[in-house]
Structure 1
Amino acid sequence: MRSGLAPVAEHTVAAVVHEVPAYAEVFTGGTGRTIERAVELALAGFLELTAGTGGADAGTPLGPALDGAYALGRGEARSGRSMDALLAAYRVGARIAWRELSGIAAAGHLPSGEMARFAEFLFAYIDQLSALSVAGHADELATTGRVREHYLERLAHSLLTGANPDDLAAAAERASWEPPRSLTAVIVPEARARGVLVRLDPRTLQAVEDVPEGRMTVLLVPDAEGRSRPSLVGALLGADAVVGPARPWTGARSSYLRTQRAVRLGLRPTGRAPLDTEQRLADLVLRSDVEALDDLRAQVLAPLDALRPGPRAKLVETLRSWLLHHGRREEIAADLFVHPQTVRYRMSQLREVYGSRLEDPTTVLELTIALGSADPG
């Protein structure tokens, strides 16, 4: 039997390639020959076991065979494959090995009782190899999961501390984390974080921070800008959360700082709804959030974004004067050095764009804050 192990291993690998499609490509070329040698080693270990000379000692052929089975399971996990294909390969291998070895045993006139014992040993041995591979696969997944979790935590910390883009890109690659378009910072009490996470994008990063209010979890939620933001806000109902603005993913620290400022300035969620800082920009500006002023300007002047720069600048100038002079046309005209009819024409354009919002006190307040300082854009 020992002298015939090489062809047995070759036939076993050929059968696995034929019957387990997942390995058809993996076992070709040099890899196939390596696998054949591994199968031959496993069979040699089995023969030592049946001869009563082997054991679990790594110094015998059996030891390396068992170690190899464990390593094979870990390799499957690293390759991203489940155990299904490997267990199927073991079943095929057991069948072919039995067919080949039993033929040799029969040719050597092995008694039927010994043949039955031989079969029992073989299939028990394959079960042992399978179990070790399953253990290796599970251990690799657990280890990989812990390592990746550690890398994800480091990435979140780097984002919150404002690391440079190159370092962030490298950290994302180490963590096998595909960078999104944007990240939105969300602060929730640590006790609420687990319940919230199941409702968010699975790519969401998290970090725990100590603040005067207690331990809080910072969530960095991918691609929750624009039309996706209401879904994020809805997922946070009842979580006592504070939601920052969406920012390009390398600028997530800006979103995090916004949530911190909101909490520090005394803004809090009301009822079950989270505190959406994008809806409280005027409050943040009035409470000394300079960055929020830029966002407020962009938000309230967004209806004019489709215009060319020249006409847009004139309408912004007119809107600012209209707010300053409370809509008095003659005073606006004098302020802008234009004819009152020009003021009337421009205001008709503005009313076309803004509609009834120019009569809404909240909109007027936001426009006044946004345009009441230099460089209104």
Structure 2
Amino acid sequence: MVDKEINALATSLLERIDELTKEMAARIRAGSRAYHYDVVPEEDLEDACRIHLGNALQAFTGQMPLDTAAAADIGRRRAAQNVPLPSVMTAYRVGVRYFWEALVDEATTTSLVGNDILVSAASAMWEIQDGITEAMVSGYHDAVAQRLLAGDQERSALVEALLEGRSMDADAVWSAAEVLDVPHKGPFTVVAAEVPRIGRRALPDIAAVLNRRGIRSAWRLRPELQLGIVHLRTPRDLDDLVDVLREQAERRVGVSPSYEDLSRTGDALRFAKVALRGGDAGSAAVTVFDDSPVAVATAGAPDVMARVAAQVLGPVEALPDDERTLLLDTLEAWFDSGGSAEEAAKVLYVHPNTVRTRLRRIAERTGRSLTDPRGITELSLALRAVRQTPRPPTSESTGAD
């Protein structure tokens, strides 16, 4: 809308732009505590007010189209200054209200326009201010998104540096803890989780879920693993962590022993990987290193244990799949039941004598007695090694002829 009378009114106000700028800034500053504008320097605030007033008035006069780029720049600046967006919007409302008051006052004082034209001017003014405000909000959101992305990248790089065990002095470790938003001292633990497929997280939203329980953590996604550094305030936090992992896990997860110094994260990661391998292949087992000595012992030397498993359980492994599975499941249930045939029978839904018969067959085929401590130990280690090793697909499972 370019009307001769409106043009004259806007031109008159442009001649007073320095005065109007200072008054608009003063009104916003008067509410600085409520609007969080105490962090905005005086010159910055006045500059923004001058830009918005000049932009709106020049659009009124038709001298140039509305410049939304300037408003977007100011939005980005307020985001960088950490002024909350609701506070920026409130300040804008104060500014718009003052702008309208200035228009009405100028029109009344100079008699440049009548009431009917002033009503039309109001409609145009709100349209202009909407364009300015939308551009400012867009710029604000862009800056916040860029900052979050940069923050995520920095966090990810620091997590990776700690997990790789890179040499970091005390100041660097302190800075890493600040950026990761975890305490500087432990205890900490490292979590290693197998991903379902490359590029997909094993534990979606795990940081947020743990944070709701008061547990701080930082995570890194690698092609085959999702890795996390978790701060444990109390022993109860470890229990809560394991509960969450068991709820979310789709594949194996390993939890390292606790440690005090972030610079030892690389060592903890090695233990977490061993604990992960301690779980049954293809399962969603959550293995805590300190709670699973047999599992981690076999996982810690996979090549050696593969030979042990072949030597000890080779005769059972050579049986047809159905028979092999039946005997190994029975042996595992017997171990899990503390060596009780009665308890194992309840788990397997069979008679205790059936369990005893199967155990005798295992003893006969392997030559290891289930009453001899050495035989029990060898069978236990061999069974863990077998469970931890993925079995190659059979022609039956692949559908091959």
TM > 0.5: yes
- Is 2:272 aligned against 1:259? yes
Contact 1:244 1:259 in 2 (8 A): yes
1:7 matched to 2:19: yes
Instruction: Compute the displacement of 1:143 (Å).
Output: 0.8
Task: Sort the Cα spacing of 1:72 and 1:178 in 2 relative to 1 into closer, same or farther, 3 A.
Answer: farther
Farther off after superposition, 16-25 or 249-258: 16-25
- Distance (Å, rounded) in 1 between the aligned partners of 2:289 and 2:205: 22
**Identical columns (%):** 19
The amino acid across from 2:167 in the alignment is: N
The answer for the alignment partner of 1:188 in structure 2 is: 193
Q: What is the Cα deviation at residue 181 of structure 1?
A: 2.5
Task: For 2:273 and 2:157, locate their aligned partners in 1 and report how far apart those are by CA, in whole Å.
Answer: 20
Aligned length, in residue pairs: 275
Partner of 1:146: 149
Q: Which residue of 1 aligns with 2:229?
A: 220
Match of 1:21 among 25, 33, 41: 33
Residues 50 and 249 of structure 1: CA distance in aligned 2, closer, same or farther (over 3 Å):
same
Per the alignment, residue 50 of structure 1 pairs with 60
> Is 271-280 or 37-46 further displaced after alignment?
271-280
Residue identity matched to 2:19: P
What residue number does 1:165 align with?
A: 168
Q: Is structure 2 residue 254 aligned with structure 1 residue 250?
A: no
User: 1:283: Cα distance to partner?
Assistant: 5.6
In the TM superposition, residue 288 of structure 1 has moved relative to its aligned partner by 6.2
Distance in 1 separating the partners of 2:243 and 2:228: 15
Q: Does the 8 Å contact 2:177/2:184 carry over to 1?
A: no
Q: Aligned partners of 2:77 and 2:50: how far apart in 1?
A: 19
Deviations 1:142-201 (A, max 9, x none): 11111111111111110111122334444555x463444233111123243105444323
CA contact (8 A) 1:180 1:222 kept: no
Pairing 1:133–2:145 present: no
TM-score by length of 2: 0.61
Equivalents in 2 of 1:55, 1:71: separation in Å? 17
Match of 1:280 among 292, 298, 305: 292
Mapped to 1, the partners of 2:44 and 2:222 lie a distance apart of 50
Q: State the AA in 1 paired with 2:59.
A: L
In the aligned structure 1, how far is the partner of 2:182 from the partner of 2:281?
Answer: 31
Distance change in 2, residues 1:47/1:184 (3 Å): same
Query: So what's the TM-score if we normalise by structure 1?
Result: 0.64
Question: 2:17·2:50 contact (CA, 8 Å) conserved in 1?
Answer: yes
CA contact (8 A) 2:182 2:217 kept: no
Q: Which string of whole-angstrom CA distances, capped at 9 and with x for unpartnered residues, describes residues 262-285 of structure 1? A: 345x45499866211111246646
Give the whole-Å Cα distance in 2 for the aligned partners of 1:46 and 1:288: 71
By how many angstroms is 1:34 displaced? 3.5
Which of the residues 38, 43, 47 maps onto 1:37?
47
The answer on whether the counterparts of 2:192 and 2:226 sit within 8 Å (CA) in structure 1 is yes
Cα–Cα, structure 1 residues 47 and 106, in superposed 2: closer, same or farther, change >3 Å?
same
Q: Secondary structure at the match of 2:21?
A: helix
Task: Report the Cα offset of residue 83 of structure 1.
Answer: 1.2
What per-residue deviation string (whole Å, max 9, x for no partner) do you get for residues 81-125 of structure 1? 321111111111111111123211222221333322222222222
CA contact (8 A) 1:20 1:88 kept: no
Structure 2 residue runs of 5 or longer lacking an equivalent are: 1-12, 197-201, 302-372, 378-401
Q: CA RMSD in A?
A: 3.0
CA deviations on 1:27-73 (whole Å, 9 max, x unpaired) are 78xx22432233123212212111111125xxxxxx3xx33321222
Match of 1:69 among 64, 68, 71: 71
SS state of the match for residue 81, structure 1? coil
Give the residue type in structure 2 aligned to 1:177.
D
- Closer, same or farther: CA 180–194 of 1 in aligned 2, 3 Å: farther
The residue matched to 1:186 in structure 2 has which SS? strand
Paired residue secondary structure (2:229): strand
What corresponds to 1:374 in structure 2?
A: none
The 1:69–1:51 alpha-carbon spacing in structure 2 relative to 1, beyond 3 Å, is same
Please give the alpha-carbon distance, in whole angstroms, between the structure 1 residues aligned to 2:44 and 2:83: 19
Which of residues 118, 121, 135 in structure 2 aligns to 1:118? 121
Question: Which secondary structure does the structure 2 equivalent of 1:162 belong to?
Answer: coil
SS in 2 for 1:205: strand
Q: Would the aligned equivalents of 1:244 and 1:256 in 2 still touch at CA under 8 Å?
A: yes
Q: What CA distance in whole angstroms lies between the structure 2 residues aligned with 1:144 and 1:203?
A: 21
Q: Where does structure 1 differ by over 6 angstroms across 4 or more consecutive aligned residues?
A: 269-272, 286-289
Shift of 1:244: 0.7
**For residue 246 of structure 2, what is the aligned residue in structure 1?**
237
Distance in 2 (alpha carbons) for counterparts of 1:196 and 1:25: 36
